[in-house]
Structure 1
Amino acid sequence: MTKKLNLAILLSLASTYVVLAQESPSPTPTPTPPSPTSSPARSVRISFVPPPLEGTISLGIYDNNSKLVRVLHQEAEPNEFTIGADALVTQWDGKNDDGEDLPAGKYHARGYLIGHSKVQDLGQAAAPPVEDDATANVKVKLTPNPLANDERPIVDLGVGFDEEGSFLKTIDGLPLCTISETPNLIRTSIKKNGEKSVDVWQDDGTRIVRFRISNIDKMMAFDCGDLELK
């Protein structure tokens, strides 16, 4: 009798468990949040015929206000570009120098082929040049590019510096060639030394050093035309 009673109790408990299991709603799975959609890749093809001069290439991207928004290539060798059927080819990802996406619209690409200039370290200078003689930029006549059928263009050159050293640049900021790898510079100045060379002074706060850059006229300008960024 006791065994039958125990069996009845077990069957009753089992039935109750099944009923509760059927009535208890199954847990609702937590929805997986959608993964953020990355912005589509933007790529603008740029092609140009390099000027007939041996040297390195600096190429910049400019907005409609002729402001330099991206240094695409700096002192690049021609073999760093893709060689097309009749031109050198490169790509622009639509970003500025800070890695930020630029708005869609029209842009312009242009640059310089810089011949083999000569940089001489003239040693420590006793004092910086007087303000009337040394300025922020100088005007230099370049070698004409026969592919552009232009006369000798005139470009304004200055000196820039960052944590890696100093460099010759255009007045709008496009770096052309390295002057030195001296870090922690605080000021620079430039002065023409004839038609084909300039003198540069740079100060790191402890001493002033003078450099002479020769053959600066051995540069040719080139234009890649307008670009459409979508």
Structure 2
Amino acid sequence: MTIKTNTTILTTLLASIALAQESPTPTPSAIIEGSPVSSISPTESVTPQPSPEQTPSASPARNVRISFVPPPLEGRISLGIYDTQGKLVRVLHHEADLREFTIGADALVTQWDGKNDNGEDLPAGKYYARGYLVGPVKVEDVSQAATAPPENNSNASVKVKLMPNPLANDTRALVGLTAGFDNNGSYLKTNDGLPLFTISKSANSSRVSIAKKGDKSVEICQTDAAGFHQFRISNVDQMMAFDCGEFELK
């Protein structure tokens, strides 16, 4: 009985020693709450933030001030811009009344925005402005007297002697004239393309031609949707040329 009791006590004591020698289980540390920290793996790429689109700024104003003294003649003004090669690059005014210009102290004033007839910016450089004042030109429809349409000669031109401009020493005593047309009708123009005055407002023209009839008259033959027309233009010499000089486009 004594041996059995001692064995039980020894077994209990050894078990207690074994438990004391074992490593204690670590107590989990408290989790401190705070802002979560995001991590990016090396294989992940950061998507760049798109930069705001740059709105192109408007091109600076390139207005050129043009002034001139009008010839002493009642009528309407056609004014063109030319490059250094003499090419017409812009029809600035066509059959304009004097009231369409700004009246300066001693001249009429207008503005050019540096663009051509298509609204495109022209390169910087030297340009010239010149035009014509067209007086009391008379247009008559003489289609009933015409026998038949003439041969197609739309490239023809005639020479007309201008009235001298007493305010300028203009060497253009003669001007080459031809006929043209667009969706708005037909018109008389210079050989370099400056429209001078309207002949007819008939739309859908297919061809026009010009022929000289004396020193002061020309005849225009026109074919359009309504048929064949012939116009006589009298007093075509009642025109004066003027020059606005040279200027620099920046």
TM-score category (smaller protein)? 0.7 to 0.9
Q: Name which of 155, 168, 183 aligns with 2:188.
A: 168
SS at match of 2:99: helix
Conserved? CA contact 2:170–2:241, under 8 Å: no
Give the corresponding residue for 1:92.
112
Give the corresponding residue for 1:140.
160
Deviations 1:75-132 (A, max 9, x none): 0001100111000000100000010000000011000000021111112543122579
2:35 is equivalent to residue 19 of structure 1: yes
- Provide the C-alpha distance between the structure 2 equivalents of 1:176 and 1:86, rounded to a whole number of angstroms: 25
2:79 is equivalent to residue 59 of structure 1: yes
- Provide the C-alpha distance between the structure 2 equivalents of 1:34 and 1:102, rounded to a whole number of angstroms: 25
Give the corresponding residue for 2:150.
129
Aligned-pair CA distance for 1:207: 1.5
| CA 189–135 in structure 1, closer or farther in 2 if over 3 Å, else same | same
Give the corresponding residue for 1:227.
247
List runs of 5+ in structure 2 lacking aligned partners.
Answer: 1-30, 40-46
TM-score normalised over the length of structure 2:
0.78
Conserved? CA contact 1:143–1:152, under 8 Å: no
Conserved? CA contact 1:126–1:208, under 8 Å: no
Conserved? CA contact 1:68–1:172, under 8 Å: yes
List runs of 5+ in structure 1 lacking aligned partners.
Answer: 1-11
2:92 is equivalent to residue 76 of structure 1: no
- Provide the C-alpha distance between the structure 1 equivalents of 2:134 and 2:227, rounded to a whole number of angstroms: 29
Aligned counterparts, 1:18-57, within 5 A:
18-20=34-36, 30-57=50-77
Identity of aligned residues (%): 63
2:233 is equivalent to residue 213 of structure 1: yes
- Provide the C-alpha distance between the structure 2 equivalents of 1:183 and 1:63, rounded to a whole number of angstroms: 31
Structure with the greater alpha carbon radius of gyration: 2
Aligned counterparts, 1:151-190, within 5 A:
153-190=173-210
Conserved? CA contact 2:170–2:242, under 8 Å: no
2:117 is equivalent to residue 101 of structure 1: no
- Provide the C-alpha distance between the structure 2 equivalents of 1:60 and 1:151, rounded to a whole number of angstroms: 18
Supply the RMSD in Å over aligned alpha carbons.
2.3
- Count how many residue pairs are aligned between Structure 1 and Structure 2: 213
- Provide the C-alpha distance between the structure 2 equivalents of 1:99 and 1:130, rounded to a whole number of angstroms: 36
Conserved? CA contact 2:152–2:209, under 8 Å: no
- Give the number of the structure whose residues are more often strand, by fraction: 1
Conserved? CA contact 2:188–2:196, under 8 Å: yes
Aligned-pair CA distance for 1:196: 1.0
SS at match of 2:143: strand
SS at match of 1:19: coil
| CA 152–98 in structure 1, closer or farther in 2 if over 3 Å, else same | closer
Aligned-pair CA distance for 1:31: 3.3
Aligned-pair CA distance for 1:38: 2.1
2:132 is equivalent to residue 112 of structure 1: yes
Aligned-pair CA distance for 1:29: 6.7
- Provide the C-alpha distance between the structure 2 equivalents of 1:156 and 1:141, rounded to a whole number of angstroms: 9
Stretches of 4+ aligned residues off by more than 4 angstroms: 27-30
